[in-house]
Amino acid sequence: MVQTRNSDNNNSDPIATQLAAIAAKLEAIETMKEDIAALKEGERPRGSRNTEGESSWRGRQPHKPYNKIDFPIFSSGDPRGWLLKAEKYFRYYQIPDEEKVEIASMHLEGDALDLYSWLSNGQFIFWEELVQAFTKNFGPAEFQNPDEFLCSIKQTGSVQEYRQEFAKRSSRVSNWPDHCLLGVFLNGLKDELKADVRIHKPRTVYSAMSLALEFESKLTTHRPGKSASWTPNSKPSQPDSKPTETFSLLPSTATAQKPTEGRLSDAEKQAGTYAGNAFDVGINMAPDIVVKTGLSNFLRLLMRGKEQRR
């Protein structure tokens, strides 16, 4: 009886052992399933949890045409245009700072490529360093000190020309506050415009430019010495003056008559009498006789009157 019980215990132990092993394997399988599910969840693309919402959102986005932008090539000369296009290229394609110089170096030729090779020999250079080197070596003289170049601006032509020059110079400086730019612009205006613009106290450069254009237009319109416009009904102005009386020693052609040779008219005889009297008393009576007879007749009558008196 004892032997039978011992044999039953020996037979039951292997079964229990197998069941325990199976349970452990099942538990391990469940654990692996959870791990696999977690890995799949982590590898899913961003936004894949809401596939339907994402597709509907993308459908509402406006269509943006794709434009390919080519990086400009630079060899020498004024680098301002090339630098501006390069900056736009970097912003459009979101190029990181550490890759800008590498991309730009593949589009350099001639003197620019030689300068880059010399600067980057055995060392890494940043984009700002390359820009500074190009502006100093290839840029115009005012690039050496753009701040001083901006402060020396003066208006010599129209306000429109002054605006363009100011915009060109101010684009080369950096970290200038707005009130400093406004002061430089006002200081460079002509004296005939500066006081009128300042009295309105503009707060921005743009408002100062607008005021300068308005006052320049007024000065051009009301400038002294400008000829008035002619209209069909306009008449030439007549001088308001009274006729002046003229005194002439020469006889009038309408009234004076040539005396007859050898004979004296009654008027000449009377004038001769007056002339004789004038010779005696002086020349006080002469003007009236001269007016009536003329200078030559008066002298002739004066001599005859003198002879008659003798």
Mean pLDDT of the chain: 75
Residue 107's contacts (CB-CB under 8 Å, 6 or more residues apart) are 71, 72, 73, 74
Q: Is the distance from CB of 215 to CB of 196 less than 8 angstroms? A: yes
Residue 190's contacts (CB-CB under 8 Å, 6 or more residues apart) are 155
Distance separating alpha carbons of residues 171 and 169, to the nearest angstrom: 5
What mean pLDDT comes out for the span 217-234? 61
| pLDDT score for 264 | 53
The residues spanned by each domain of the chain are 80-139, 146-221, 266-309
Which is higher by pLDDT, 175 or 273?
175
Give the model confidence (pLDDT) of 240-250 as tens digits. Answer: 555 544 444 44
Phi, psi of 239 (to 5 degrees): -65, 130
Phi, psi of 74 (to 5 degrees): -130, 135
Distance separating alpha carbons of residues 40 and 116, to the nearest angstrom: 49
Distance separating alpha carbons of residues 199 and 178, to the nearest angstrom: 19
Give the model confidence (pLDDT) of 15-47 as tens digits. Answer: 888 888 888 888 888 888 888 877 777 655 444
